[in-house]
Chain A
Amino acid sequence: MAESKYVKSKIFFEEEFEEKLAEVPTDPKGPWPANDNLKIIGKPVSRIDGYDKVSGTAVYTFDINLPRMAQARILRSAVPHAKIKKIDTGKAESLPGVLGILSSNNAQEIKWFNTSSLFDTHLRYQGDEIACVVAESEAIALKALKLIKIEFDELPFTVDAKEAMGEKAPKIYDEGNIQGGKPFEYARGDVDKAFQEADAIVEDTFDTQVAIHNPTEVHCSVVNWDGDDLTVWDSTQAIYGVRDTVADALKMPASKVRIIKKYMGGGFGSKLECGKYTVMAALLARKIGRPVRIVVDRKEMNLAVGNRPNSVQKLKLAASKDGTLTAISHYSYGAIGGYEGGAGCSWPARQMYKCDNVKVEEYSVFTNTGPTRPFRAPGYPQGIFALDSAIDMLAEKIRMNPLEFRMKNNAEKHPMWNAPFTSKLLKEAYEQGAKAIGWDKRNNQPGADKGPVKKGMGMASQIWWGGGGPPSHAVLKLNRDGSARVIAGTQDLGTGTYTFMAQIVHEVLDIPMDKIEVILGDTAVGPYCPSSGGSTTAPSVSPAVRDAAENMKIKLLEAAAAQLESEKKNLVYVNGLISDTSNPEKKIDIPGLMGKMGEQTITTTGSREANPEGYITQTFGAQFAKVEVDTLTGKIKVNKIVAAHDIGRVLNRKTLDNQFHGGIMQGLSYALMEEQIVDINTGKVVNTNLHDYKIPIIADIPEIEVIIVSEADPMNSNTGVKGCGEPAIIPTAAAIANAVYNAIGVRIKSLPMTPDKVLMALNQA
């Protein structure tokens, strides 16, 4: 059996480092050769779950229908700030078909967030939970919600981070509205001195909007009690996270809670943690003795399940004449809503470029608005938008091509810890991306185009984590007929996890793809894998699957040695056939070998190996945009995006391209259209549906070219994979903003870059 040991594993997850004690193999498998020398890894393989999805047979949590299932819905605060005095559910309870109601009147106290509870009587934003009704149908539940009478005292509110930071603002918490009472600070070098000595300085303020994830499948759960055992189907990116939150909330052993998620309609971070709705459904289901389905509708999605927070960023950068970036000062604040969260966006300023003097001060501010949740590279699209806009301004000031300026300030080692990277091909990304877009044809004189429609070209850099790490495990089972089942407690959000797991088993063992079954998304069967965020799924899970498959190969060789009465060292495994190099007569294939074992299955496990000590694994890239701006209407049209990235090894070219296109599209709409708008007079969200909250339709797509400059990162893991979901979105908005400047010669410093802002900026120029 494969040996294992325990190590302290530190990986970067979404917004910070996490350290976990992790089981890792003691016999890490060596790296794979280049994809050209592999059979199926890196090839454009169709999704193995594609049939289910195109045929309509894929069952999502939203579709689960159990016998006697009741429906639950949530009553939410209609005002931004209030204290509940009384909840009268009498009328609602007497509505025929209503089965139960939970509120602060009758629910046990369950702690939620650091400072609050499942049904808090202090309502801190429009959308905060007040009560939950379960009924025979959704329609009855909705009707009952309207019959609940709430008496409350409205409190003064604040929905603007800047106002909320001020002395006179209404306090959401007694300790004040700045989370933790002070800013997050970081410094290296001597920024003041660097500014004094600088040849050129730029200083400006940038702002970005609140954006909502809006996956197409709304958040939902179906819960079912069987005695003391609770099964939850949840549309989630984190089956183990949901399991532990539910178990803790209900004070029951985690072993009695099973979370299942097979197919889900997207998440982008909004489904990374357990929602209150799941716990409410479980409480109600226990109360009424029936399965319960709970759905959060599109309006609630736009109020209460998280957002990418806004940011206001004051940046000051300095350079010397020769193009050395000598100082970055980054001051920012953003609104995190009524509960703990994070609005930080300074990671790019701290680590994108080599720069000896950096100072950061960032504030996460409580406001009476909806909560934050990690949204595809939390903090990075906003941080890179400001930083790379300022970088372009600085390059222009010292009359240097912005691409050359970035090349010159490329960090060979991690600028914060002076540690080497397992791999970094950012320069290659700059070069290949520039070539593909035709960078040498870029306007030298911004805004020089004649006529009202002006063309421009711009670029921006990308940095992110995405190296993954342990703990992450897989189980592989081989059946009598040579078919296999590979199991891991991970998730597929549409990202292609099902398919790459099968590809890896095929690559190692030559079992035909259609004989490999993949099981994931079930805490009752899967060995542990982390939640699917931070672009960590493929880099964490793929090496564990390969480890399990290689261990299976070792076992099969041992079994073949016994069966063929050969010496193990003489046996080779080629294309699913084991043969004895000393005697060509002796050979056996997998079904043949398995047939000798009766009906037993052989099982192996595999684990993700430890990350190398002292090294940093990150993803890098650059995106280039070609735009045209109509200076009469203010409309920006993106014609082309070239994305050149270092993401380690490509597992599947089809799902990779899909992931990149989707990320770039979200980046483009973040740049140009998406924005949650809150009316500062009422504290209410103005656009809570998909008509008013703009997400792109097919008419909005530009030409997209994806270039992967990396072959693999063999130091990081046995598959050399780095994640790509988040890198895709990070530089898009900044590249477009720089292209817009190049087109019109006027800089737009506020996202989204809507026509009104463009016209206003042109008028002021």
Chain B
Amino acid sequence: MKINLTVNHKNYSLQINSDLLLVDLLRDHIGLTGTKKGCEIGECGACTVIMNGKTVNSCLVLAVQADGAEITTIEGVANNGDLHPVQQAFLEHDAVHCGFCTPGMVLSAINLLNHNPNPTEFEIREAIAGNLCRCTGYQQIVEAIQSAADKSK
């Protein structure tokens, strides 16, 4: 079947199977491998993308459900090589270790700040509670998000 969607401000019209997952559409059909897969059953958050202003686990969304949707992946966040303030803060605060969870973390953080520019530490923790990181101790991630919020004030 055919679907139309916008990914990182670009329109796509694709012929797909009805059982295709959004994560596989992004990775295999559009080639955006910045979206990761850690479990494929909605437990790790590595596949987080922003869909119509909400973060979703793209392994839990059928591609057909994204028909007409507007999607932001990690590749759509930096502007012409200039990092988004959240990405910059992740880099500066070393909120990154192996980096496999990072795209999902960054998108969860950006979406939080889009809706709540002044989050409390508790709200930050809530916003990324669905993103598992096995390498860091999370502290640097909280600090990075906090500082990105402070800087954009």
B1 is an interface residue with CB less than 8 A from chain A:
no
Task: Give the distance in Å from the alpha carbon of A406 to the alpha carbon of B94 in the complex.
Answer: 35
Q: Note all chain A residues with C-beta closer than 8 A to B44.
A: 216, 690
CB-based contact B38/A55 at 8 Å:
no
Residues of B within 8 A of A62 (CB): 36-37
Tell which of A21-29, A260-268, A604-612 binds the partner.
A260-268
A306 to B140, CA, bound (A): 29
Whether A56 contacts B38 by the Cβ 8 Å rule is no
Q: Which residues of A contact B87 (CB under 8 A)?
A: 54-55
Give the distance in Å from the alpha carbon of A62 to the alpha carbon of B19 in the complex: 22
The residue of chain A having its C-beta at the shortest distance from the C-beta of B87 within the complex is A54
CB-CB < 8 A to A699: which residues of B? 125, 129
The main secondary structure of chain B at its interface with chain A is loop
Identify which of A54, A63, A218, A298 contacts B90 (C-beta below 8 A).
Answer: A54
- Please indicate which of the listed interface residues A59, A218, A698 has the most CB atoms of chain B within 10 Å of its own CB: A698
Q: Which of A55, A495, A658, A699 has the most CB of B within 10 A?
A: A55
- The residues of A that contact B35 with a CB separation of less than 8 Å are 56
- Known contacts A63-B33, A264-B98, A55 near B83 by CB under 8 Å: yes
Residues from chain A with Cβ under 8 Å of B134 in the complex: 214-216, 266, 268, 662, 666, 695
Q: Which residues between 29 and 62 of chain A lie within 8 Å of chain B, taking CB atoms?
A: 44, 46-47, 49-60, 62
Distance in angstroms between the alpha carbons of A268 and B136 in the assembled complex:
12
Complexed CA–CA distance, A216 and B133 (Å): 7
Q: Which of A50, A218, A297, A665 has the most CB of B within 10 A?
A: A50
Q: Among A59, A657, A697, which residue has its beta carbon within 8 angstroms of that of B140?
A: A657
Interchain CA distance A696-B128 in the complex, whole Å: 12
Contact B39 A698 (CB under 8 A): no
How many Å lie between the Cα of A217 and that of B142 in the bound state?
A: 22
A56 touches B43 (CB 8 A): no
A interface, how many residues as a size bin? Answer: 35 or more
A424 at the interface (CB under 8 A from B): no
CB distance from A265 to the nearest CB of B (A): 3
| Residue of chain B at shortest CB distance from A690 | B43
With A216-B132, A218-B38 as contacts: A493 and B33 at CB distance below 8 Å: no
B74 within 8 A of A: yes
Q: Is the CB of B94 within 8 A of A47?
A: yes
Interface string of B7-45 (1 = CB under 8 A from A): 000000000000100000001100111111111110110
Instruction: Say yes or no: A55-B129 contact (C-beta < 8 A), given A216-B36, A265-B36, A689-B39.
Output: no
A661-B137, A665-B138 given; A698·B128 CB < 8 A: yes
The CA-CA distance from A215 to B99 in the complex, in Å, is 11
Q: Are A698 and B142 touching (Cβ within 8 A)?
A: yes
Which residues of A sit under 8 angstroms from B133, Cβ to Cβ?
A: 216, 698
C-alpha gap A51/B106 in the complex (Å): 13
A453 near B: Cβ within 8 Å? no
CA distance A278 to B6 in the complex (A): 37
The yes or no answer to B61 lying at the interface (CB within 8 A) is: no
Distance in angstroms between the alpha carbons of A494 and B129 in the assembled complex: 22
Does B71 reach chain A (CB closer than 8 Å)? Answer: no
Q: Please indicate which of the listed interface residues B19, B75, B87 has the most CB atoms of chain A within 10 Å of its own CB.
A: B87
A289 to B44, alpha carbons, bound, how many Å?
Answer: 35
CB < 8 Å neighbour of A47 from B96, B136, B141: B96
Question: Is A441 interfacial (CB 8 A cutoff)?
Answer: no
From A60, A690, A698, contact of B100 by CB (8 A) = A60
Min C-beta distance of A211 to chain B, whole Å:
12
Query: Using a CB-CB cutoff of 8 Å, which residues 216-243 of chain A contact chain B?
Result: 216-218
Chain B interface bracket (under 10, 10 to 19, 20 to 34, 35 or more): 35 or more
Whether A494 touches B98, Cβ cut-off 8 Å, given contacts A54-B106, A661-B136, is yes
Query: Is residue A664 within 8 Å, beta carbon to beta carbon, of the partner chain?
Result: yes
Contacts of B132 in A (CB 8 A): 216, 690, 695, 697
Contact indicator A47/B43 (Cβ below 8 Å): no
User: Could you tell me the distance between the alpha carbons of A9 and B104 in the complex, rounded to whole angstroms?
Assistant: 44
| Cα(A62)–Cα(B27), bound, Å | 11
Query: Which residues 91-114 in B have Cβ within 8 Å of A in the complex?
Result: 91-92, 94, 96-103, 106
Indicate with 1 or 0, residue by residue over A671-708, a CB within 8 angstroms of chain B CB atoms. 00000000000000000011100011111010010000
Judging by beta carbons under 8 Å apart, are B138 and A494 in contact? Answer: no
Q: State whether B99 touches A701 (Cβ < 8 A).
A: no
Is B73 part of the binding interface, using a Cβ–Cβ cutoff of 8 Å? yes
A63 to B91, CA, bound (A): 22
Cβ distance B145 to chain A, nearest Cβ, rounded Å: 10
Interchain CB contact (< 8 A) of B138 among A52, A218, A701: A701
Residue of A nearest to B76 (CB): A56
Contact A689 B41 (CB under 8 A): yes
Tell me which residues across on chain B come within 8 A of A408, comparing CB atoms.
none
Residue of B nearest to A297 (CB): B40
- Chain A's closest residue to B130 (CB) is A697
Fill in one digit per residue for A627-644: 1 if any B CB lies within 8 Å of its CB, else 0.
Answer: 000000000000000000
Q: Which residue of chain A has the shortest Cβ distance to B39 in the bound complex?
A: A298
Q: A658-B136, A690-B44 are in contact. Are A698 and B94 (CB under 8 A)?
A: no
Nearest to B42 among chain A residues (CB) is A691
Q: Is A372 an interface residue (CB 8 A)?
A: no
**Complex contacts, B131 vs chain A, CB 8 Å:** 698
Interface centre among A218, A297, A658 (most CB of B within 10 A): A658
Report chain B residues within 8 Å CB of A298.
38-41, 43
7 A-B pairs besides A54-B83, A698-B131 with CB distance below 8 A are A47-B96, A57-B75, A216-B134, A265-B36, A265-B98, A265-B101, A690-B44
Which B positions have Cβ atoms within 8 angstroms of A? 19, 27-28, 31-41, 43-44, 46, 73-75, 77-78, 83, 87-88, 90-92, 94, 96-103, 106, 125, 128-142
Q: Which 7 A-B pairs have the closest CB atoms?
A: A56-B34, A661-B137, A265-B100, A494-B98, A53-B99, A56-B74, A63-B33
